Amino acid sequence: MFSLCSHQGMRTRGDMLSFAIAFALRGARKLVRGLREELTEEERYRIADDVVHRLKQHGDPWRLSEELPPPGKGHSTW
């Protein structure tokens, strides 16, 4: 599970997608009628991980298991 403020645990494209889904689910309460409280961080990541897992079951045309490139250095003005 990843902390919302840390990208260090992301190794694959699927990890990045899972993080993006979990982040987007922060506002799920507004989308789901009858949901009285927000999803917890753990619930958001369980949902996101399940979505990525289900996408991978379809032959992974999105290359979700592919490793991410190493983080590059930021833009330099030097």
Domain assignment present for 61: no
Structural domains in the chain (count): 1
Lowest mean pLDDT among 57-61, 67-71, 74-78: 74-78
Domain assignment present for 31: yes
For the chain, the straight-line distance linking the first and the last C-alpha, in angstroms and rounded, comes to 37
**What is 17-44 written as a DSSP string?**
HHHHHHHHGGGHHHHSTT--SPPPHHHH
Q: Specify whether the CB–CB gap between 76 and 24 falls below 8 A.
A: no
Q: What's the pLDDT score for residue 1? A: 41
pLDDT in tens, 8-51: 577 898 999 999 999 988 877 666 666 677 888 998 899 999 99
Check residues 1 and 65 and name the one with the higher pLDDT.
65
Print the domain residue range for 32.
13-56
Domain assignment present for 22: yes
